[in-house]
Chain A
Amino acid sequence: MIKTTELSKKYGGITVLNIESIEIPKGQTFGLVGNNGAGKTTYFNLLLDLIKPTTGHVINNEIQVNTSEDWKPFTAAFIDETFLIGYLTAEEYFYFIGELRGMNKADVDAFLVQFSEIFNDEIIGKKKYLRDLSKGNQKKAGIVAALIGNPEVIILDEPFANLDPTTQIRLKKLLSELAKNSNATVLISSHDLGHITEVCERIVVLDKGNVVKDLKTSEETLKELEAYFSV
């Protein structure tokens, strides 16, 4: 589904990302881990064509992302709070995204029902603008918005950060179900090794922009990752 070839990004001569090749097949749940500055967000930004690659390219479902816009209809992402429109309420924001993805209000309402547990009555019907919600609730709204319209590719940058423990567990369940029940390709990054090994089928470790490990998740993966990072 997503093919990355010879992809690199340099800022003023310093290489922040250098990926020879990563191929993510359709339906895979793909996890990205690495310390600060490893290049996780840079990689996601390149996947979404938000920054210009220095060399190489990304092909998303046969479409090269930096030459055509046709990948947008089936790709959704939540990278950070700048993906939210602060002056809208959560509902208005969901309707907006839904409309962009060809869903009417009723469709969106029906879709949102399954998230009532996650929202915990703090997001819908609150008469509050997104900019006035807490960081955690903003994140919830952003993640759910990224799932609207059954996208084939979902990119979430650190979805677990800032969330309360209950929501972290619910989100894990949600992502696992999503991987099982739909054919969506899910890409997430995280600093929490436990969460990511639970959710992802495959884990890639980045260090200073390079791929240092590419693991198929198994019983031992968590131990291996812990050993790697406990330097």
Chain B
Amino acid sequence: MIKNFINFEWKQFFRSSYFQKGVAIKILLVFAVLYFGGAALMLGVGLFFILKETLPNLDPIVVVNNFLIYWFIFDLVIRFFMQQLPVMNVKPLMIIPVKRNIVINYLLGKTALSFFNFIPLFIFLPFSIVLLMKGYPALNVVCWFFATLFLGFSNNFLNFLINKSNVIFYVLISVFTGLIGLEFFGIFKISRPIGVAFNSLYNTPILVIIPLLLMIGLYIINFNYIKNGFYLDDTVSKKIKEVNATDLSWMDRFGSVAIFLKNDVKLIWRNARPKQVMMMSFLFLFYGLIFFTNKTYSNSPAWLAFASIFVTGGFLLTFGQLVPSWDSEYYKLLMSQNIPYKKYLESKWYLMVFGVTLSFILSTPYLYFGWKIYGMIAAGALFNIGINSFTTLFGGALNRVPIELNVKAKAFSNTNGFNPTQMLIALPKMVLPMLLFYVPYKFINYEAGLLVLALSGVLGIVFKNFFLNKIEKIYQNGKYKTIAAFNEKNN
């Protein structure tokens, strides 16, 4: 039976739509996997030496152990937002004569193969090998490695429980916030005893049994949880959420596009996929930190322009590039209803402007880095509103990938919007502002660069109707193709 299951999985994997995509995308995907895998591998190998160099007085393994808890919390958070739980496919298996226990074991076993469980392998395995080569006691290192592995899997199963049970979710959230609060205000440093715990885990190899038991325990809890709810209307089904109806009539002041804006807010608020994108776009806000804190970049201001686009453009870039796709599930309705195309596009434009504005407000703490950098962010925000919003909408016209709204994207299986044309269109969004800033900067001064960048954005806003009309034509021309492409997934 298990053989059959694996066979199904194989077919599901290779027959799924993303595998039927062009060679170019496959190659890009392979590169992406290689890149991230390679980066993790490098980190794993280099970690020992980096720590040795920066903190010569401390044993690298002790430092790693002290910080391990943050890694696992981070891992859990990422899993919560990104990891897709493989429960949906269980329906056809419920009535065939297979023991429930086999199905459940299989179901849980399958989660073990998740991409997220391989990341620690890439980091901790090379790190452990380096430790061994440096003459650390073999038994301790091997046991420590397995301990991290077991803890990773514990996270895997814990994530399942968090996703399925609100009680566990809230309990965990309150425990975490409580502990972080205590830590932050210096009342009780929880990270210290945890660091000690991890270190004793390393020093006393036999303690590896604790993470092992934790993993097994969580597995059993999961098993019982699923077993008790192995009915269509229970654990294995999609959660039917109570509607949280909010009154959005205050948005009516936005005039004729208000009706679409209200819908878009609900779209983002009520579906898993857009929520995920929102979270990602929030992370973009911190992108500037990499650049603004680094001397090499602050000395070549063109890179600051590059970074400023990302600081305020997170939502625009991530949400905007999938513009018609967000409505792919009901595109036929929009195309046959009393909706002028231009109004539809205009509402999406307003949404992006709103996203940029909000990001700009949230980016106020960057004032810390001085007026020059903050000015750059402001100019970048204007450029995002005036130029990049239209470039993004234009790129959307060429994007015909349907999106399943209420399904989280899987890591590395999400090729939506990931195609060569999109990449080409994304390029000017970043290169153009760099040029617009750099040329006047080189010939006049920094302020002139900012002015040109900001003015080009203002110009875009002034010619908004012109741009929207042009983009509308392109959407109109691609209408039948888009409908047909969106239909493929829906049927």
Q: Is the CB of B259 within 8 A of A96?
A: yes
Name the residue of chain B whose CB is nearest to the CB of A133.
B240
13 new A-B contacts, CB < 8 A, other than A72-B338, A85-B330, A87-B266, are: A48-B332, A50-B483, A75-B336, A82-B330, A83-B332, A86-B329, A86-B406, A87-B267, A87-B270, A96-B263, A100-B259, A127-B245, A129-B243
Interface residues of A (CB under 8 A from B): 48-52, 69, 72-73, 75-77, 79, 82-89, 92, 96-97, 99-101, 127-129, 131-132, 149
Q: Is the CB of B263 within 8 A of A79?
A: no
A50 and B490 in contact, given A87-B270, A127-B243 (Cβ under 8 angstroms): no
Q: Is the CB of B266 within 8 A of A92?
A: yes
Provide the residues of chain B in CB contact with A49, threshold 8 Å.
335-336
Could you say which of A72, A76, A84, A85 has the most chain B C-beta atoms within 10 Å of its C-beta?
Answer: A85
Name the residue of chain B whose CB is nearest to the CB of A129.
B243
A87 and B337 in contact, given A82-B329, A82-B487, A92-B266 (Cβ under 8 angstroms): no
Given the complex of chains A and B, what is the CA–CA distance between A23 and B249 in angstroms? 43
Instruction: For residue A220, give the distance in angstroms from its CB to the closest CB of chain B.
Output: 36
Question: Any chain A CB within 8 A of the CB of B484?
Answer: yes
Given the complex of chains A and B, what is the CA–CA distance between A112 and B20 in angstroms? 45
Which of A51, A87, A128 makes the CB contact (< 8 A) with B484?
A51
Main secondary structure of the interface of B (DSSP, over half): helix
Q: Is the CB of B267 within 8 A of A100?
A: no
Instruction: For residue B423, give the distance in angstroms from its CB to the closest CB of chain A.
Output: 29
Q: Is the CB of A50 within 8 A of B267?
A: no
Given the complex of chains A and B, what is the CA–CA distance between A50 and B406 in angstroms? 25
Give the number of A-B contacts (CB < 8 Å): 78
Q: Is the CB of A131 within 8 A of B406?
A: yes
Given the complex of chains A and B, what is the CA–CA distance between A128 and B245 in angstroms? 10
Q: Is the CB of B332 within 8 A of A101?
A: no
Instruction: For residue B351, give the distance in angstroms from its CB to the closest CB of chain A.
Output: 16
25 A-B residue pairs with Cβ-Cβ distance under 8 Å, sorted by A, are A48-B335, A49-B336, A50-B336, A51-B480, A69-B340, A72-B339, A75-B336, A82-B332, A82-B333, A83-B332, A85-B329, A86-B329, A87-B266, A87-B267, A87-B271, A87-B406, A92-B245, A96-B259, A100-B337, A101-B338, A128-B243, A129-B243, A131-B406, A132-B240, A149-B338
Could you say which of A69, A76, A87 has the most chain B C-beta atoms within 10 Å of its C-beta?
Answer: A87
Provide the residues of chain B in CB contact with A76, threshold 8 Å.
337
Name the residue of chain B whose CB is nearest to the CB of A97.
B337
Q: Is the CB of B487 within 8 A of A129?
A: no
- 5 smallest CB-CB distances across A and B, nearest first, come from A83-B333, A87-B270, A48-B336, A52-B480, A127-B243
Q: Is the CB of B405 within 8 A of A87?
A: yes
Provide the residues of chain A in CB contact with B240, threshold 8 Å.
128, 132
* CB within 8 Å of A: which B432-491 residues: 480, 483-484, 487, 490
Given the complex of chains A and B, what is the CA–CA distance between A131 and B330 in angstroms? 12
Instruction: For residue B459, give the distance in angstroms from its CB to the closest CB of chain A.
Output: 30
Question: Any chain A CB within 8 A of the CB of B331?
Answer: yes
Given the complex of chains A and B, what is the CA–CA distance between A44 and B405 in angstroms? 27
Given the complex of chains A and B, what is the CA–CA distance between A97 and B330 in angstroms? 13
Instruction: For residue B314, give the distance in angstroms from its CB to the closest CB of chain A.
Output: 23
Q: Is the CB of A84 within 8 A of B330?
A: yes
0/1 interface trace, chain B 257-277, chain A, CB 8 Å (1 if under): 001000100110011000000
Provide the residues of chain A in CB contact with B490, threshold 8 Å.
82
Name the residue of chain B whose CB is nearest to the CB of A65.
B336
Provide the residues of chain B in CB contact with A131, threshold 8 Å.
406
A89 and B329 in contact, given A49-B335, A50-B336, A96-B259 (Cβ under 8 angstroms): no
* CB within 8 Å of A: which B241-255 residues: 241-243, 245
Given the complex of chains A and B, what is the CA–CA distance between A75 and B333 in angstroms? 12
